[in-house]
Amino acid sequence: MFVLSFLAAAAAVAALQQTSSTAHTAAPSVTIPDGTVTGSRNNSIDTFLGIPYAEPPIGPLRLRPPVPLSTPFGAFNATLQPKSCPQLLMDVDPNMFALVPPDQQAMISSFFSSPAPDQMSEDCLTLNIYGGGFQVGSTTSNDWSGIVSYSTAIGHPILVVSLNYRVSSFGFLGGKELQADGSTNLGLRDQRLALEWVSQNIAAFGGDPERVTIWGESAGAISVALHTALNNGNHTSQNTGRPLFRGAIMNSGSGNPSLPIDSAPAQDVYDMVVANSGCAANATDTVACLRSVPYETLQIASNTVPSLLSRNGLAINHWPRPDPSDPSFSVSPAQSFLSGKFARDDEGTLFALALLNSTAQAQLVSALKSGVLHGAPTRLIREFVSLYSTNATCGSPFDTGNNGEVYPDYKRNAAVAGDVAFIFQSRSYLSAISRHLPDIWSYDAAYTKGSVLGTFHGSDLVLLGSGAPRIAYQEVLDRHISFVYYSDPNTLTKNNNNSSMDGSVAWPRWTDAKREMMQFNNGGVRVIKDDFREAAYGYFRRVWGLLTI
C-alpha cells in the first residue's frame, strides 16, 4: 500500500483501463448489474450523478448500518445533482468573516457552507468522500471536471468517484445505546459500502478496479486513514476478493487518537440529541424513538449540537470513534498505526477564527479541552500551549511578521490549532506508519496565501477544483495523477512529455530519520524539512496517544 500525505472531498480515483480517441456526442450510457445508467457529456467529460449504492437509510433503516441495494433500479437518469445527506447548519460567528479580506471570504464561506434545507434528504446514499469535519459536506461540494479534463490532456485519464455518506447525528452519533444496537460509525460504513460498489462496477465505466486510490480532505482524509486500518488492515473486498484500493491520498488530515464510542463526550452528544428530539421520556428505547420521530425533528435536534465553527468556539462533536464491540474498528487509530495493523503549512488559521474569545492562555486551554481534546488531561494541554510564543512574528500565518494579528494572540492560537488538529497529527501518523511502510510522501502547501488565513485548511480544494491551470495547480495535479497511475508521485514526468511536472526536483520518501517533504508554492517546488516547531512537536509526540478527541 502506498500513502501520499498532503498538508479533496473524499473520493475514489481509478486510472482508466484504456483511452479512446473517438469523440462521441450521444449521452453516455453504461450498463451495470443494477441497471442502465445514462449520464451527460460536456467538453469530452462524461458525468453520472446520483447513482444509488445502498437502500435509502430512512424509516426503520435510519441510524442503522447501510444495506446494499436489494432491487435493481433498471433505467436510471444520472443527469441530476442528488440531494445532500442531512447535516449541521453551520452557525458561524459573523465576526469571523468581518476579519477576513473579501477575496478569502468567498473561499471559506463556500468551503463551510451548508446546503439549503430543501437540498437535503435522508435518501442520500448516492455516488457522484469529502471534507467538513463529519458535520457537513456532499458530492456537490467540489467540481472534479477540472482534474479529469487535465488528466486526459496529459494522456493519463482518471475517473473520480465522489460519494454521499451520512454525517452529523445521522452518521456519527455515538453513545452506549447505539453501541448496544450495533449501529456505530454509520458514515464510515457508508463509505466502505461505496468502495465495494466501486470495486464491483468501476470497470463498466472504463476504470481499473486494480488501481483504485482513495482520496480525502479533512474529514475525508481522516476517513481515508481509518479505511487503511479497519479490519486490522485487511481491505479485501467481500464481493470481488480484490483489494478495495491500492493507494491513499490524505489532504489536511490523518488518523487522530480518539476516545471510544461510549465515552463521555460521545454520550453527552447522544443525550443532547435524544432530549431535543423529545425522546428522553422514552427511557426504555431511545434509539427506537430516534428512528420514529419525523426527519425534521431529528434534524432540528441535531442542529442543537455546537458545530465545528460555531459561536461557542471550536467544537468537534461528531467523530468516528472506536467501538470495542466492533471487531473491524475496536481500538484507537493511533494504536493500529503504531502496531502496524493497517493496509500497507498554515492549517489552523481558519479554525483560529473560531477562537475569538480565547485570547488568554487559560481560555485557549479551556477551549481546546471542551471542544477538541476531550480526553486529554488539562495539565498536558496547558504544558503544550505554554511552548508557543504570544509574539505575533512567531505565529500563523507564518513568515508574515506582525501582520495578520486580527485579535490578541490570534497567531498563537492559529499555530496551536493547526498543530493540534493537523500538522503534528500528520507527523505523528507518518512516524508511526513509516516503521512498517516505506512508500510514503508528504508535502507542505505554500500557495494561495492570504494576509489573515495564509494557506488555510481546505485551500487545496480551491486549487484542485480549479479549471484554470497555473504553476501550482499543474504541479500538484501532475503529482497526484502520477501517484494514482504509478504509486509514485515522481514517475509521470519520466513517461509523458505533456506533463508540466518539474522533473529536476525529486520528491523524497518521508522517513522518520530525515523527515523530508515537498513544498509547493506559486513559483515551483522545493524539498524542505518537516521540522516546524520541533520543541512543541517533541512534547506532542510523547503524549500523542493521550491527546484524544
Backbone angles phi, psi at 221, to 5 degrees: -65, -40
| Coil, strand or helix at 349 | helix
Amino acid residing at 509: R
Q: Is 218 a catalytic residue?
A: yes
Distance CA 242, CA 288 (A): 37
Strands (E), 401-489: 440-445
Separation in Å, CA 33 to CA 66, 109, 161, 163: 19, 40, 18, 19
Specify burial of residue 98 (Cβ count, 10 A radius: 0-12, 13-18, 19+).
exposed
Checking phi first, is residue 231 left (phi over 0); if not, alpha (psi -120 to 50) or beta? left
Residue (of 282, 310, 21) closest to 152 by Cα position: 21
**Joined grid coordinates for residue 285:** 428505547
Contact 546, 381 (CB under 8 A): no
Q: Is 122 left (phi over 0), alpha (psi -120 to 50) or beta?
A: alpha
> C-alpha distances in angstroms, 475 versus 72, 120, 139, 442, 455?
42, 36, 25, 15, 17
**Are the CB atoms for 315 and 268 separated by under 8 Å?**
no
**Exactly one of 138, 183, 218, 223 is catalytic; which is it?**
218
C-alpha cell of 470? 497555473
CA distance linking residue 544 with residue 542, whole number of Å: 6
- What span, in angstroms and rounded, lies between the C-alpha atoms of 272 and 492? 51
Report CA-CA distances (Å) from 470 to 142, 443, 501: 19, 18, 12
* Contact (CB, 8 A) for 217 and 252: yes
* 280: its cell numbers: 428522553
Can you give the length of the chain in residues? 549
Active site members: 218
